[in-house]
A and B are shown apart, each in its own frame.
Chain A
Amino acid sequence: MKVFKIILAALLVILALVITASALTTRDILPALLERMDPENLAAHDAAMQKAKDRVTTALSENNPERAQRSLDRYINGFSAQLTLSGRVGYDLFFFRNGPSMLALALFLAVAAAGLIAHALDRSSKVRKLVLPAILITVLYVGVYIMENIAGANSMLMTVLKKGAIYALIAVSMNLLNGFTGLFSLGQAGFMLIGAYTYAIFSIETQSRAQVYQYYAGGIIQFQLPALLSIALAGLAAALFAFLIGWPVLRLKSDYLAIATLGFAEIIRAIFQYDGLGPLTNGSNLLRKFTVFETALFPFAVAGVCIALIALLIHSTYGRSFKAIRDDEVAAEAMGINLYAHKQMAFVISSFFAGVGGALLAMYQTTVQAAAFTSAMTYEILLIVVIGGMGSISGSVIASFLFVAASEWWLRFLDNETMLGSFRVPLLRSGFRMVVFSVVIMAVVLFYRKGIMGDRELSLGRFRRGLSRRKKGGAQDG
Chain B
Amino acid sequence: MADAMLELSHVTMQFGGVVAVDNLSMHIDQDEIVALIGPNGAGKTTAFNCITGVYTPTSGQVFYRGELIVSNRPQGRMKTLYAGSHKDFPTQIVVNTPDRITKMGLARTFQNIRLFKTQTVFENVLIATHLHRTSNLFTATMRLNRQEERSFREHAMSMLEAVGLQDEKDELAVSLPYGKQRRLEIARALATRPRLLLLDEPAAGMNPQETDALGRFIVDIRSRFGLTVFLIEHHMDLVMDISDRIYVIDFGRQIAHGIPEQIQDNPDVITAYLGVDEE
Do A and B contact each other directly (Cβ–Cβ < 8 Å)?
yes
**A331–chain B nearest beta-carbon distance, Å:** 4
Interface pair A324/B116, CB less than 8 Å apart: yes
Q: Which residues of A contact B141 (CB under 8 A)?
A: 309, 312-313, 316, 318
Interface check B102, CB cutoff 8 A: yes
Of the candidate stretches B38-46, B120-128, B227-235, B243-251, the one touching chain A is B120-128
A324–B116 CA distance with the chains assembled, in angstroms = 6
Q: Which residues of A contact B81 (CB under 8 A)?
A: none
**A231–chain B nearest beta-carbon distance, Å:** 19
A interface footprint on B99-142 (CB within 8 Å = 1, 0 otherwise): 11011000110100011111100010011111111010100111
- Measured CB to CB, the residues of A under 8 A from B are 309, 312-313, 316-318, 320-321, 323-324, 326-328, 330-339, 345, 349, 391, 455
Interface pair B116/A328, CB less than 8 Å apart: yes
Q: Could you name 28 residue pairs across A and B whose Cβ atoms are closer than 8 Å?
A: A312-B143, A316-B143, A317-B129, A317-B140, A317-B145, A317-B152, A318-B137, A321-B130, A323-B119, A323-B127, A327-B119, A328-B114, A328-B115, A330-B110, A331-B110, A333-B102, A334-B52, A334-B110, A335-B102, A335-B127, A335-B128, A335-B130, A335-B188, A335-B192, A336-B130, A337-B99, A339-B99, A391-B118
Bin the interface of chain B by size: 35 or more
- Given the known inter-chain contacts A334-B52, A335-B102, please indicate yes or no for A318 contacting B140, CB distance below 8 A: yes
**B95–chain A nearest beta-carbon distance, Å:** 13
Interface pair B99/A331, CB less than 8 Å apart: no
Interface pair A317/B103, CB less than 8 Å apart: no
Interface pair B192/A336, CB less than 8 Å apart: yes
Interface check B85, CB cutoff 8 A: no
Interface pair A337/B130, CB less than 8 Å apart: yes
Q: Which residues of B contact A338 (CB under 8 A)?
A: 97, 99-100
Interface pair A334/B140, CB less than 8 Å apart: no
- Given the known inter-chain contacts A317-B133, A320-B126, A324-B116, please indicate yes or no for A333 contacting B140, CB distance below 8 A: no
- Extra contacts besides A327-B119, A330-B110, A335-B107 (17): CB < 8 Å: A316-B140, A317-B140, A317-B149, A318-B141, A323-B118, A323-B119, A324-B127, A327-B116, A328-B117, A330-B54, A332-B116, A334-B99, A335-B127, A335-B188, A336-B99, A338-B100, A345-B137
Q: Which residues of B contact A334 (CB under 8 A)?
A: 52, 54, 98-99, 102, 107-108, 110, 114
A321–B192 CA distance with the chains assembled, in angstroms = 14
Interface pair A333/B98, CB less than 8 Å apart: yes
A333–B100 CA distance with the chains assembled, in angstroms = 9
Interface pair B149/A331, CB less than 8 Å apart: no
- Measured CB to CB, the residues of B under 8 A from A are 52, 54, 97-100, 102-103, 107-108, 110, 114-119, 123, 126-133, 135, 137, 140-143, 145, 148-149, 152, 188-189, 191-192
Q: Which residues of A contact B131 (CB under 8 A)?
A: 335-337
A349–B136 CA distance with the chains assembled, in angstroms = 14
Closest to B108 in A: A334
Q: Which residues of A contact B116 (CB under 8 A)?
A: 323-324, 327-328, 331-332
Q: Which residues of B contact A391 (CB under 8 A)?
A: 118
Q: Which residues of A contact B118 (CB under 8 A)?
A: 323, 326-327, 391, 455
Nearest first, the 8 closest Cβ-Cβ pairs linking A and B are A336-B131, A331-B114, A327-B116, A336-B102, A316-B140, A335-B128, A333-B98, A338-B99
Q: Which residues of B contact A313 (CB under 8 A)?
A: 137, 140-141
Q: Which residues of B contact A345 (CB under 8 A)?
A: 137
Q: Which residues of A contact B107 (CB under 8 A)?
A: 334-335
Closest to B123 in A: A320
**B84–chain A nearest beta-carbon distance, Å:** 25
**A337–chain B nearest beta-carbon distance, Å:** 6
Q: Which residues of A contact B137 (CB under 8 A)?
A: 313, 318, 345, 349
**A93–chain B nearest beta-carbon distance, Å:** 48
Interface pair A321/B127, CB less than 8 Å apart: yes
A333–B114 CA distance with the chains assembled, in angstroms = 11
**B264–chain A nearest beta-carbon distance, Å:** 33
A320–B125 CA distance with the chains assembled, in angstroms = 11
A309–B138 CA distance with the chains assembled, in angstroms = 10
Q: Which residues of A contact B127 (CB under 8 A)?
A: 320-321, 323-324, 332, 335, 337
A321–B126 CA distance with the chains assembled, in angstroms = 10
Closest to B192 in A: A336
Interface pair A331/B140, CB less than 8 Å apart: no
A331–B185 CA distance with the chains assembled, in angstroms = 10
A174–B1 CA distance with the chains assembled, in angstroms = 56
**B147–chain A nearest beta-carbon distance, Å:** 13
Q: Which residues of B contact A349 (CB under 8 A)?
A: 137
**B125–chain A nearest beta-carbon distance, Å:** 10
A320–B99 CA distance with the chains assembled, in angstroms = 16
A334–B99 CA distance with the chains assembled, in angstroms = 6
A240–B54 CA distance with the chains assembled, in angstroms = 31
A326–B127 CA distance with the chains assembled, in angstroms = 13
Closest to B152 in A: A317
A333–B53 CA distance with the chains assembled, in angstroms = 10
A336–B52 CA distance with the chains assembled, in angstroms = 11
Q: Which residues of B contact A320 (CB under 8 A)?
A: 123, 126-127, 130
